[in-house]
Structure 1
């Protein structure tokens, strides 16, 4: 699937995948009230884990996130339950990490018959169909699945049914704002992507996809850490994507006042100015649902920059033969 097609396919894929995940959850037993849960992944899946863990903790689940690489040398139990995410089910580090863990193991993957699926005790199949080389459908379907799993275990019931329509709305409404800043982002020396809380997945994945799709030089920052020094190189040659509300709104105004073209992705109603272009998101049912909407403008920006640079975003220049099982 081509990258722009993957962007546009997400509303319908979210709808299809939600039905498949809800069916799978009927076969997923509860966890013990005091169980410790590790959320594990690499790349885009690790970004999802970083946001899912605090969201789950807010629901009362004792969850924490780990990069799969942190478990490659594991020699003792790290959690009672390990939830591993890999769209392909073939990520070498994630499969190896699960081989070294004990306890209950669950996989969220688009390929139940993959090496990861064969290794675990339970599988939640995404049923998200084909994905683009720069992840689109698989990424947002994974966020939705991890959100639904957390609510399933916590006994919470947010209404995710409107998410596909909200995603379609954001894709349509964000295009003009993205195109309004694309030329300036194309000239940027570096693009800083900044956010906090659940939006940290959007920050990490947004910076990653801009590198993958448009070969842009990017940096990902947590908002409050960004205030402690990383802002020092800012000048008009730097562009910023700021994601969130509250402190992020103030930050967006501050960096735009420094001459940095700034795209603000927020649920707040913010006025634009010369260097500040806001994209207002609708209110979603949960923090993780919000991150599904947040990534869509960054995907559009990635494709706009790639197109301006004559890039198809249909593969990678520096493919590695040891990061996916069976790729050699």
Structure 2
């Protein structure tokens, strides 16, 4: 956060997301229209840290589905002085001050910044900027992360399919429905009341929901201060499941995740399935039903459920989800402000 950023409580940020998504859809639509003749990249590196890195998972997967070589990086895997392995770097940082992302942006032939804060070092260092509008956000990001996911999703869809679909116009209403759903609130409350006793929650997602799993784990650590792991289902099945009995589990996906939930529930641990598929919910497993959306948009509603879970766990545990613990000493290119997420 910079001294000029206005912080709102995380709970308020969660509720503000539908309006922010609607504004971002309009802004990104205009941005794309103004750049109709921009050359299309042969390969793309998407760079970000923390929550920004998490929301890059679905864009990378969809670019690859469309035949575009794409990678995501936190910067740790780019040795000093090494070239960026793509002709376009999309550098994502809501603050525009993450040093790893800034460094990655300066290495490749072309660069685009996706930022929320104006006049940021990242915006100044790149060839082009998609500005999210200086959205008012919470310290544990809610509004700006949703806007980032939408902007990236629309950029990728336009690149892969040649146009932007009507999905984005419908997304604010779908997000409202998720945030206001009474059945979702009951499922989260029941899960949180049991999970609080274990004190550890793993968040697992199918391949298309990898970003939601990663962001969910970050939210639970940063908000209610609950130890949490984020992993894809296939990775989780290769040994990580052996801690069963001592961990609560959130599974984001469909049939494979439901089958895993049935196995985990046999050990009398809290299991929550977050799904947009018509799957049978196993005995002993709680469930949240989501609207069916393409992967690039679905991450917004998936993360919204995990935000609500972070709030519910914070309430059960009596934890201030807006309070930081450690001072971030080197996560921004300026050090006059401390605290806040790596974004």
Give TM class, smaller chain: over 0.9
Cα distance in 1, alignment partners of residues 81 and 273 from structure 2: 40
Deviations 1:111-164 (A, max 9, x none): 242100000000001126111111111111111111101122230432110100
Which of these residues, 133, 138, 141, is aligned with residue 144 of structure 2? 138
Q: Which residue of 1 aligns with 2:215?
A: 205
Cα distance in 2, alignment partners of residues 281 and 34 from structure 1: 34
- Any gaps of 5 or more consecutive residues in structure 1? none
Say if 1:29 and 1:82 are closer, same or farther in 2 by CA, change over 3 A: farther
TM-score (norm. length: structure 1): 0.94
Deviations 1:64-103 (A, max 9, x none): 212222235142242100001101111121112223x121
Q: Which residue of 1 aligns with 2:111?
A: 105
SS at 2:34's partner residue? Answer: coil
Which of these residues, 69, 77, 84, is aligned with residue 76 of structure 2? 69
Q: Which residue of 1 aligns with 2:18?
A: 11
Return 37-46 or 71-80, whichever deviates more: 71-80
Deviations 1:164-197 (A, max 9, x none): 0000101111222111221111112421111122
Q: Which residue of 2 aligns with 1:280?
A: 289
SS at 1:162's partner residue? Answer: helix
**Matches for 1:32-47 after TM superposition, within 5 Å:** 35-47=42-54
Cα distance in 1, alignment partners of residues 261 and 38 from structure 2: 41
Say if 1:177 and 1:30 are closer, same or farther in 2 by CA, change over 3 A: farther
Q: Which residue of 1 aligns with 2:201?
A: 191
Which of these residues, 172, 175, 178, is aligned with residue 180 of structure 2? 172
- 1:291 is aligned to 2:299: yes
Cα distance in 2, alignment partners of residues 324 and 234 from structure 1: 37
Which of these residues, 230, 233, 248, is aligned with residue 220 of structure 1? 230
Which of these residues, 76, 84, 87, is aligned with residue 80 of structure 1? 87
TM-score (norm. length: structure 2): 0.90
- Aligned residues, how many? 325
Say if 1:204 and 1:90 are closer, same or farther in 2 by CA, change over 3 A: same
SS at 1:69's partner residue? Answer: coil
Q: CA deviation at 1:246?
A: 2.4
Return 43-52 or 9-18, whichever deviates more: 43-52
